[in-house]
Structure 1
Amino acid sequence: MPSVTFHVDAVLADMDGTLVDSKAAVEGAWDVFKLSYPHIDVTQILSSSHGVRTTDNLRIHCGITDPDELEREAERFEMAIVTSASATNGGSGIVLLPGVKAAMDELAPRKALPNPLWAICTSATRIYATTALKLAGVPMPDAFVVAEDVAQGKPYPDPYLLGAKLCGVKPENCVVLEDAPAGVRSGQAAGCKTIGLLTSHSREQMEAVKPDFLVKDLSSVSMKCTENGVDVTVHLED
């Protein structure tokens, strides 16, 4: 299998669909919200909402415009994900995706400020993101960007620009790990190299946004921390 190795100053990772799989729990949360918003089409929402902030999804699909109501409903939605996760697969509705444990074993020791080598940049709220990471057993990095931290979420560059800033590096010297088209576009807009993962979207959807590399999941990516960054090897399909 051919491979490509390159050096970056920091790794910036999405959460849902990149590090953890919460699809079943998210579907359960939308089913709960359909009781309050019977006009929504859950199937259509699931095809387009991944990688987008909960507040933006609720504004688009549920028609909520009041900022205070959006905040309350976003919190209720993400707690519904956690509740659904607890009732799914024997309480294992949020789990690690393939390749993540090996990546975390390498990156986790280098998570601390002032010079962390990796960040998580998620569209989730802080309450949900911290809970999901704990349930899945992912260590919490000091460089941690959530929905409330940015004025504009993915596909705008704000999350990954902030992630690079928290790591103390330039975004053009970072690689973004993403499973959603909106997230890939966010990383590209920030000037980062991008690795797309085929964990939640079709190959056609991901190829359309042209990440630098496209692999099935993080089992096709290996990392080695160095004194001043991370050597990333992408194992390409034949």
Structure 2
Amino acid sequence: MPAVTFHADAVLFDMDGTLVDSTAGVVGAWELFKQRYPGINVKDILSSAHGVRTVDNLKKHCGIENPEELTSEAHRFEMAIVTESTAKGRPGIVKLPGVAEAMQEISSGRRYPNPSWAICTSATREYALAALANAGIDVPDAFVAAEDVDFGKPAPDPYLLGASKCGVKPENCVVFEDAPAGIQSGQSAGCKTIGFLTTHSKTQMEAVRPDFLVSNMSCVSLKLSTGGGLDISVEVD
């Protein structure tokens, strides 16, 4: 396949569905929560909840309004993802295709004072750190979790903060995302966006018009640039 190559001052990764696959755990967690909230429709939730903060999903689908209860239930839900990911013979939280190679290539760029990449997730910090540890992915110094922003995706806040932590302008960053809400967040922040077809249909992802749309990280190569930032090559049809 032909490839398009360009430079970015920093790369901003989503986590679930982009770097790791936690689908089994998420399904299990919602099934557990249906016992607590019998009125929820797990199938409908799974079709739209990905890429959105847990507190926002619980508020929307479970009708939880009290801030303290939201925080408590979000913690309960996300820890259930970790435990349910290996329950009933499930595969656990694992790296998605191409991620191991990409992380190996850019690992040395994850440290301050000049990080070249960040993770900007809608998950809470506690769950995100547990998920990354389970998948064997090193945590970068530039790291944004749900509680670090007032407004989650599709608002631009997570990616604006990620760019700031990398010390670069958002318009010089590239966002990697698997969810429409995440693509919209990156676009609103002024970033270039690369969408993956790991959790949503091609139709759903094309509707939000990412700059590139590919199967997964195996279609992308990343190399640290000697002058800072990264050189990115994307396989295109």
* TM norm. shorter chain > 0.5: yes
Q: Does 1:116 align with 2:124?
A: no
1:86, distance to aligned residue in structure 2 (A): 2.9
Deviations 1:2-40 (A, max 9, x none): 110000000000000000000111000000000000000
**Corresponding residue of 1:23:** 23
What secondary structure, in the 3-state scheme, does the structure 1 residue paired with 2:119 have? strand
TM-score after normalising by structure 1:
0.98
The equivalent residue for 1:179 is 178
Q: Deviations over 1:118-169 (max 9, x none)?
A: 0000000001000000000011000000000000000000000000000000
Alignment of structure 1 residues 36-47 onto 2, 5 Å: 36-47=36-47
Equivalent runs, 1:49-88 vs 2, <5 Å? 49-87=49-87
The residue type paired with residue 183 of structure 1 is G
1:89 positional shift: 3.9
Q: Which residue number corresponds to residue 145 of structure 1?
A: 144
Q: Does 1:205 align with 2:227?
A: no
User: Aligned AA for 1:37?
Assistant: Y
Amino acid at match of 2:15: M
Q: Is the 8 A contact 1:176 1:195 kept in 2?
A: yes
Unaligned runs of 5+ in 1: none
Which shifted more, 205-214 or 101-110?
A: 101-110
Structure 2: give runs of 5+ residues left out of the alignment. Answer: none
The range that moved more, 92-101 or 172-181, is: 92-101
CA distance in 1, matches of 2:89, 2:19: 18
Shift of 1:95: 0.4
Q: TM-score, normalised by structure 2?
A: 0.98
AA paired with 1:63? Answer: G
* Cα deviation, residue 88, structure 1: 5.1
1:91-110 residue pairs with structure 2 within 5 A? 92-110=91-109
1:106 Cα shift?
A: 1.1
Q: Superposition pairs for residues 117-132 of structure 1, below 5 Å? A: 117-132=116-131
Provide the alpha-carbon RMSD of the alignment: 0.8
Letter in 2 for 1:120: I
What does residue 165 of structure 1 align with?
A: 164
Q: Secondary structure at the match of 1:65?
A: coil
- Name the SS for the 2:80 alignment partner: helix
The residue number in structure 2 matching 1:188 is 187
Range moving further from structure 2, 194-203 or 221-230: 221-230
What SS class does the counterpart of residue 72 from structure 2 fall into?
helix
Cα distance in 1 for residues equivalent to 2:133 and 2:87: 16
The answer on 1:214 being equivalent to 2:213 is: yes
Question: CA deviation digits over 1:29-54, x for unaligned, max 9?
Answer: 00000000000000000000000000
